[in-house]
Every structure is written in structure tokens, then in C-alpha cells.
Amino acid sequence: MLKIEDLHVEVEGKPILKGISLEVAAGEVHAIMGPNGSGKSTLAYVLAGREGYEVTKGSITYKGEDLLEMVPEARAAEGIFLGFQYPVAIPGVSNIYFLKAALNAIRKHRGQDPLDAIDFMKLSKEKAAIVQLPDELTKRSVNDGFSGGEKKRNEIFQMALLEPSLAVLDETDSGLDIDALKVVAQGVNALRGPERAMLVITHYQRLLDHIVPDVVHVLIDGRIVRTGDKNLAKQLEREGYSEVRDAPSL
């Protein structure tokens, strides 16, 4: 589904990603782990097409297409979803209105009819239940005055509604207490499926106790230094990033 080859990315002239290669097949969950400043979020933004992230070398192929040619909304319509580390607020725009506009824009791209208000509300209720998002939050302005945990739950709620093919979750666990973490992880697990790939970016291993990955990559200083199974995450937790970087591959 996703194939990244020798990807080099600069931000404001500074090299951040220095040759990443990665392949994710449908149905797989990959974790990207790494210390602060290693380029994890940059990878997420490049996949979603954010401005200011310049690809200087390499390629990204998604569902057989050149992803780098697509504008962000086209990527979204093609099924790429980014769960933001810091979701932004949009005052005055209700969550539900925002999502209906988003979903219908994506449906339009797929040649489907827009959902009407009644069908949408029904769908929204169903999906909100997955992350136990209170009804009241779906009606409030997008992320406006939400707590950290509410914002993250809202991201997963949006993911559930938009049903992406590739979900990139950027530090979804940051700022969550253990109960909230469990709820979010359950939400994510409920969305795992044979047609859906996930890239879970995290600093800590604890999220991976709840969202068990098929593959773990360790990203340090813009390069993937190790790739392994879920046990690699546990090893990291025990030994720290520097040990893992210097140790020979498993």
C-alpha cells in the first residue's frame, strides 16, 4: 500500500530525513519509534503533504501512485488520514459540521452521493461510541477548549468516520493519562482491519502495549536504524535509544 524509498526531506534548508525506506502492506500496523527530533513528525507531515517540507530525494508510492504529486486534500480523499499530535482548534465551526463537510468532500471524490444530515448523524453517533466521545463534544467547535485527551479522542473519532486506508497517528499517546490511553488504543484497535494499514508514531513503548504492532522501526537522526517485531519496542524501553542504535541488528 505504501512504499517509501530513500526519502530525503529538508525543512527550511535543514536536512531532517536522510534516506528512509519503508514498506507497509494493507492490514499491517507499523510503529515508528524514536527520540525527540529524530524526524518522526516530519515523516507524518510529508505523508500528508504539508507545505514547507521539501523532498530533495527519493519517492513515496501509495496504492501504486506517486503520492508526492498529490495535494493534501487529494491524499485525504485517497484515504490517507493523519492523527495530529497537536490538533488545532477552529472556533465557531462545530465538530459535526466540520466532519460532515470533510466526509462529503471525500465521498464526492469517490463518486459517492453526499450523506444527508440524518444519515450522517446516525453514522456519527455510531463512531463516537468507539472512543466514548460524549455527544456534547461532537457539537462543540472543533477542538476548541478541548482537553488534551478530548482532542486525541476526537482525532480517533474522525478517523473512524472517515475510514481511511492508511492512518498515520502522530504521538497519539502524548498527553494522555492511562485511562484515556486505553480508550484511544481500543478505538484504534477497533479500526484495525485487513484493508487498512497504520503507521503509529510514538516516543514511548507504553502505547504499543495496547496497540500491538506487526513491525517496529527505530528512527534516529533521520534514518531508520533498526527494524524488528514488537519485541524491539520492549528492548528499547529497557535499554534506551542509544543502546539500540549501537547494537547489531536482531
Nearer to another protein, 110 or 246 (CB): 110
Task: Please identify which residue in the block is written with the cell numbers 547494537.
Answer: 247
The least distance separating another protein from the CB of residue 172, rounded to whole angstroms, comes to 15
3-state secondary structure of 79: coil
DSSP for 200-227, written as a single string: EEESSSHHHHHS--SEEEEEETTEEEEE
Site string for another protein, 146-165 (x = CB under 8 A): ------------x---x---
The 3 state secondary structure assigned to 164-186 is CCEEEEECCCCCCCHHHHHHHHH
The least distance separating another protein from the CB of residue 83, rounded to whole angstroms, comes to 10
50 near another protein, judged by CB under 8 A: yes
How far apart CA 159 and CA 191 sit, in angstroms, is: 9
| Residue from 141, 165, 186, 227 binding another protein (CB under 8 A) | 141
199 near another protein, judged by CB under 8 A: no
First to last CA, the chain: 26
92 near another protein, judged by CB under 8 A: yes
The least distance separating another protein from the CB of residue 249, rounded to whole angstroms, comes to 34
Strand partners, 24: 2
Q: Which of these segments, 46-54, 181-189, 201-209, 226-234, binds another protein (CB under 8 A)?
A: 46-54
Size of the site for another protein (CB under 8 A): 31
How far apart CA 172 and CA 124 sit, in angstroms, is: 21
103 near another protein, judged by CB under 8 A: yes
State which H helix or E strand residue 86 sits in: none
The least distance separating another protein from the CB of residue 51, rounded to whole angstroms, comes to 5
Cβ 94 vs Cβ 141: under 8 Å: yes
| Residue from 9, 48, 185, 236 binding another protein (CB under 8 A) | 48
List residues binding another protein (CB under 8 A): 48-52, 71-73, 75-77, 81-82, 84, 87-88, 90-93, 98-99, 101-103, 105-106, 109, 141, 158, 162
